[in-house]
Amino acid sequence: MTVTATRTPIVRWLGVVAVTLGIFAIVTTEILPIGLLTPIGTDFDLTPGRTGWLMTMPGLVAAAAAPVVTVVTARLDRRLMLCALMVLLAAAGFLAAAAPVYSLELFARFLVGLTIGGFWSIGAGLAGRLVPEQWTVRATAVIFSAVPLGSVLGVPLGTFVGELAGWRTSFVALGVLSLVVLAALYLTVPPLPPLQVTRPAVLRDALRGSRNALIVTCLIVSAHFATYTYVTPLLRDVVRPELIGVFLLIYGAAGLVGNLMASTAAARNLTLTFAGCAGLIATATVLMPAVGRSTAGALLLLVVWGLGYGGIPVCSMSMFAKAAPQSREAATVLFTSSFQAVLSIGALLGGLVVDAWSVSAVMVCGAVGAALTVGVLLWSRTQQVPGT
């Protein structure tokens, strides 16, 4: 049985909501430095590129932690693991708020990376164990809606609080939110002993069939985070600082719409949906240095960008799952590890370009990467590559 028979439908869906809130807290914690990049950098006297390490650190750690945590804890109850990881996220939030030096700030981000790697790998594929089979697809969509919700609610709100009360206050709030999620998980998610032990051999087999998913994910995610990580410095030249949170809110709202549209379209044609999302990102980033210099132009391009990126996580995860149908948890591990690795690499490379040249230069570079993603996806469709 995938769902405990004695649990009512409402309680089952509350478990889905609790997992969704957990991912929402994680996504918000991970990408909040994008909205607070300037005040954090000013506080520690850092360049935008060095401040961008706050995005690089958790991604690299999560990439390594996803397979390691999943394999090492393969025999442990999954609810227990989710709760333990939320304790770790709360500790990271409070440490980030209190850190007197940048090295401790980076250590807090290290803890965030451990949480991301473990929670995503376990939680993203739990829908089938929380609700009846006929509701699994809808429950999965609800869980993945936490990604754009982190952008539409978490980051703008955290940025707004940071501008009003200081960026450290935002991380205190995230620490408190993590404790609330901990209680929700404990109360609503049933005991979940592992159904299949994820061994290294299982991951290796899943990887063999997922090479195309890996390539396109690496291309588009690195392109996105090389550019989006540094969108705040660009917006500060266009709008007043207190309006940046509003602009990011609109971007996030577009991302939520993009997520819903892509979830529906991907069921009919995954490859073309993925290519369409990447094409929107390429369009927005290549035009941002010119058209984005006006308030209206920047807002329009952020909407286009949000629509595109909103569909990327669900398309990427769907491609990994389609390429490795024999092991859903292994597919989720590969998705998490690759996504987080290139997220951090993209933020790092973007920072190098920004410090050496300009934000405009990194936008053009990101557009090239997104355009390459479109090309690879369209080529793989003609070759009938597995997973497409």
pLDDT values of the chain reduced to their tens digit, one per residue, 388 residues:
444 445 676 777 888 889 999 999 998 998 888 778 888 988 998 887 788 788 888 888 888 887 787 777 777 888 899 999 999 999 999 999 999 999 999 999 999 999 988 887 777 667 777 877 777 767 777 887 787 778 667 887 888 888 888 999 999 999 999 999 999 999 998 887 766 655 656 566 656 667 788 889 999 999 998 998 888 888 888 887 777 878 888 888 888 888 888 878 888 888 999 999 999 999 999 999 888 888 889 999 999 999 999 888 888 888 887 776 666 667 777 777 778 788 778 888 888 888 888 888 999 999 999 999 999 999 887 766 555 5
Helix orientation angle between 155-165 and 9-35, rounded to the nearest 10 degrees? 50
Give the phi and the psi of residue 117 in degrees, each rounded to 5. Answer: -60, -45
Exposure of 64 by Cβ count < 10 A (0-12 exposed, 13-18 middle, 19+ buried)?
middle
CA distances from residue 130 to 13, 27, 117, 119, 140 in whole angstroms, order as listed: 7, 21, 21, 16, 10
Tokens in use for 57? 């650190």
- Alpha-carbon torsion (312, 317, 320, 321), positive or negative: negative
Measured from the Cβ of residue 35, the count of other Cβ atoms closer than 10 Å reads 30
CA distances from residue 387 to 20, 27, 187, 293 in whole angstroms, order as listed: 26, 26, 37, 39
- Residue 322, CB-side half-sphere exposure with 13 Å CA sphere: 19
Q: Write down the pTM of the prediction.
A: 0.74
Q: Which of 357, 369, 358 is nearest to 292 (CA)?
A: 358
Measured from the Cβ of residue 185, the count of other Cβ atoms closer than 10 Å reads 21
Measured from the Cβ of residue 296, the count of other Cβ atoms closer than 10 Å reads 10
d(CA 94, CA 368): 38
pLDDT tens digits, 270-315: 899 999 999 999 999 999 988 888 888 999 999 999 999 988 888 8
pLDDT tens digits, 194-247: 666 556 565 666 566 677 888 899 999 999 989 988 888 888 888 877 778 788
